[in-house]
Chain A
Amino acid sequence: MYSQGLRDSKAGDESPELLEAFQKRIDAEEKIEPRDWMPQAYRKTLIRQISQHAHSEIVGQLPEANWVTRAPTLKRKLILLAKIQDEAGHGLYLYSAAETLGESRHQMYQDLLSGKAKYSSIFNYPTLNWADAGAVGWLVDGAAIMNQVALCRTSYGPYSRAMVRICKEESFHQRQGYDIMIKMANGTPEQKAMAQDALNRTWWPSLMMFGPSDKDSTHSNQSMKWKIKRFSNDDLRQKFIDATVPQAEYLGLTIPDKNLKYNKKTGHYDFSEIIWDELFDVIKGNGPCNQQRMDARNKAYDDGAWVREAAAAYAEKQQNNKEVA
């Protein structure tokens, strides 16, 4: 129903004049709004990107929720719950932002449940000890912020505005994660070992969150031209590494990369080649938790079916009663 009234272009309507005018608006840093004309490919790219982002927030609740019932203090339990609630809230804004492009939330969600739509591969890794709750905030949210701060200036208005709010909350999440790491890294030998173990397991997958290397990134060029993306995958990844290495040093933890070294010439950290096969494999569905995450999402959806039906039936009865009255 959302497609009605949208100024959709059919492939044939995308005259060079229209495309050029659109590009001019982009180049002039104007925001594109839902009712504006836009090329079909621009719309499609955004629906794919925003819905993937929304799915990531929703699936991303699961590895952290794994520790909610076992959080070690009341304060940590409250913070973790509040954080996961924020992530679910981000999912809501993002689904709403994607809906302005003409795709229904129901359809997007079905695509997630059927496995057709993707979500960030980072959430297909398990959270095995309490320090993972810290590492997720510190590294996963930290990497997400690098991407998302750039997206605050993305060319599509609703997405960019959603990002401004999301970024504020994400920086809080990152700080709370780092705060857990500080406590763990400065705690007993067992706690420090948990912190190092969490870093060892999370480091490489969090670098992969920036996506494939620029030379292999399928969607990058056009997205940069349309200013959906403002920085390349590799640039953002480097920025993240440069910011994170000193934080790990402060914690007294070792980043699991023997080749990690500050390069005075470039002013950046050099690092080992990422094992890309692992990323592509996890994206294909072969990560340690892909099946578990999708099972959890599908089970929640199936178990909730009667609840949604009851709510809909009640709303309909209320509406009918109103009409009769």
Chain B
Amino acid sequence: MSAVYNYVLNLGDNTLILGQRLSEWCGVGPFLEEDLALTNTSLDIIGQAKMLLEYAAKLKNDTQSADDLAFMRDQHQFKNVLLVEQPNGDYSQTMLRQYFMDVYHVHLYSALSNSSNQQLAGIAAKSLKEVTYHLERSQLWIKRMAHGSTESFNRLQTSLNKLWHYHHELFEETKELSQLVVQGIAANPKELHKKWDTEVKTLMATTPLEIPQTGWKATGGRIGHHSEYLGKMLCEMQFLQRAYPGCEW
């Protein structure tokens, strides 16, 4: 059971931290329609986090709730990939991170819709509808920025140079995960990686963007080794629950 718990927690933390980052844009988007769209995306993704963390809490089979998992764990207990905790940066960085995650989520949820785990299959089927729309939007922004102006292209290229090194972590393989794949519970990371790579590189090939060829690869989220950014995010996110523990809100 703990392998499923770790898997669900990893997916739940990815969505929670990504949704939290996106919510920082609330009220200050580049124009009103984007403000609405960003908030909407954040809402969907935090909604997914809520479902996943509720399920994780249930798997733990004790009195913990999704809120306990979100607000009462320290950073070393979070299992998310480092990509989602990276700062929003400018709009190209936010939208590129979003595009990477949207492509990943579409393939992940498509696969999980057929999971032998009914609970996961249900969450995935519901979430797939949302992320399909998110992908349509973030993909269009990649095209807009890549082909729009010199400035937007340069900014997007800079973000690509920064963020490319973070995507590998989404497809890391572990023994525990392989067993879940064999059982038909988890999505196969190798297949996901292949699909992600093909889709992202196909889009990039239609633009003058250059994918960085070498460099460092982010890792560590799965074992609680994060970037310095996560601790500060949690300070903000968990403030009330930590300062006034045991309250009802």
Contacts and interface: CB of A to CB of B under 8 A. Distances in A.
Nearest to A315: B144
B62 interface: no
Interface of A: 58, 61-62, 64-65, 68-78, 81-82, 84-85, 88-89, 91-92, 95, 130, 180, 183, 187-188, 190-191, 296, 299-300, 303-314, 317
B35 interface: yes
A70 B26 contact: no
Interface string B141-174: 0011101110110010000000000000000000
B90 A74 contact: no
B30 A308 contact: yes
Given A69-B23, A69-B24, A78-B43, 19 more contacts: A68-B24, A68-B26, A69-B20, A72-B71, A72-B240, A73-B249, A74-B53, A81-B42, A88-B32, A92-B36, A300-B28, A300-B30, A303-B28, A303-B30, A303-B90, A304-B29, A304-B91, A307-B34, A314-B147
Contacts of A84: 26-27, 39
Main secondary structure of the interface of A (DSSP, over half): helix
A18 to B, nearest CB: 36
B152 A307 contact: yes
Contact of A88 (B35, B236, B246): B35
Main secondary structure of the interface of B (DSSP, over half): helix
B249 A183 contact: yes
Interface residues of B, number: 48
A84 B36 CA distance: 9
B32 A92 contact: yes
Contacts of A77: 23, 46
Interface string B5-28: 000000000000000100110111
A56 to B, nearest CB: 13
Given A58-B32, A74-B50, A76-B249, A65 B26 contact: yes
A187 B148 CA distance: 53
Contacts of A191: 244, 247
